[in-house]
């Protein structure tokens, strides 16, 4: 579960709107080389909980400035379709479009919002109407709770007024697979993200393309 530094209640997250277009990777969605020195609302983690929190914060405070810091290279997206609707899709271009049909028959992207929904991290401090910015490919390595600031893996520091830790969890591998030997391990692929990250590891696009080829 996500840990909140302050116990101030937040409103329930609204259902995400249908994206206007297929969202690209976080590098083009909202990443910026210039990191803001301060964020009124800092969300650590780029998953569903973090995105829902950002929407709730903006719903209660339309002028709120929210910064999401995530290790992944992509903007927030839905993970369940990776091993369900997208995995069993008959569309040969699914690894490019990343779109699927919902239970009601409507098609949508796995990304909660298109790139246009976000502002760049550089714009956050001066945004008159606030907004949600994302720092992708960044990892928080230290947190100073008393001083209300964090340090990133490049030694950049960001101060904050309120902070939400929504880093999620890491799935555990089955011991039967780990003990099965090298031959089984070479034929076993574990993935839980949509695209390749700087930290390495398998991803949905590579796994599905490899299966098809």
Q: Is residue 198 part of a domain?
A: no
Which class for 139: exposed (0-12), middle (13-18), buried (19 or more C-beta within 10 A)? middle
Average pLDDT for the chain: 79
Query: b or e along 25-35 (b: 16 or more beta carbons within 10 Å of the residue's beta carbon)?
Result: bbbebbbbeeb
- Which phi and psi angles does 26 have, rounded to 5°? -60, -25
Q: Is residue 86 part of a domain?
A: no
The DSSP-derived string for 65-81 is EEEEE-SSSB--B-SGG
Tokens of 43: 């969300």
pLDDT in tens, 95-152: 788 888 888 889 999 999 999 999 999 999 999 999 999 999 999 999 999 999 999 9
Question: How would residue 30 be classed by pLDDT, with cut points 50, 70 and 90?
Answer: very low
Q: Is residue 13 part of a domain?
A: yes
Q: Is residue 156 part of a domain?
A: yes
Q: What is the mean pLDDT of residues 17-34?
A: 45
Residues 94 and 204: beta-carbon distance below 8 Å: no
% of the chain beyond a pLDDT of 70? 73
Query: pTM of the predicted model, to two decimals?
Result: 0.72
Query: What H or E segment, with its residue span, contains residue 133?
Result: strand 131-135
* pLDDT over 60 (residue 37): yes
The pLDDT of residue 191 is 66
Q: Is residue 63 part of a domain?
A: yes
pLDDT in tens, 136-164: 999 999 999 999 999 999 999 999 999 99
Indicate which CATH number applies to the domain containing 155.
Answer: 3.50.50.60
Q: Is residue 151 part of a domain?
A: yes
Distance CA 47, CA 167 (A): 7
- Supply the range of the domain harboring residue 137: 3-76+111-169
Q: Cα angle vertex 110, ends 121, 206, to 5°? A: 95
Q: Is residue 82 part of a domain?
A: no
Q: Is residue 23 part of a domain?
A: yes
Q: Is the dihedral of CA 17, 64, 127, 36 positive or negative?
A: negative
The pLDDT of residue 127 is 94
Q: How many domains does the chain have?
A: 1
């Amino acid at each position: 579960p996500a840990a909140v530094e302050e116990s101030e209640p937040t409103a329930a997250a609204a259902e995400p709107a249908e994206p206007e277009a297929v969202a690209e990777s976080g590098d083009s969605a909202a990443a910026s080389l210039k990191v803001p020195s301060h964020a009124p609302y800092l969300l650590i983690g780029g998953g569903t909980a973090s995105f829902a929190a950002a929407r709730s914060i903006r719903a209660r405070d339309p002028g709120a400035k929210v910064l999401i810091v995530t290790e992944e290279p992509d903007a927030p997206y839905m993970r369940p379709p990776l091993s369900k609707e997208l995995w069993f899709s008959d569309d040969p271009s699914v690894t490019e479009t990343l779109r699927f049909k919902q239970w009601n028959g409507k098609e949508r992207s796995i990304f909660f919002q298109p790139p246009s929904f976000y502002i760049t991290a550089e714009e956050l401090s001066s945004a008159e109407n606030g907004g949600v910015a994302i720092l992708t490919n960044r990892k928080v390595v230290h947190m100073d709770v008393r001083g209300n600031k964090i340090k990133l893996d490049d030694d950049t520091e960001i101060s904050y007024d309120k902070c939400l830790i929504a880093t999620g969890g890491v799935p555990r591998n089955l011991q039967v697979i780990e003990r099965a030997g090298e031959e089984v391990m070479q034929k076993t692929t574990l993935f839980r993200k949509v695209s390749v990250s700087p930290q390495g590891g398998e991803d949905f696009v590579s796994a599905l393309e490899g299966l098809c080829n």
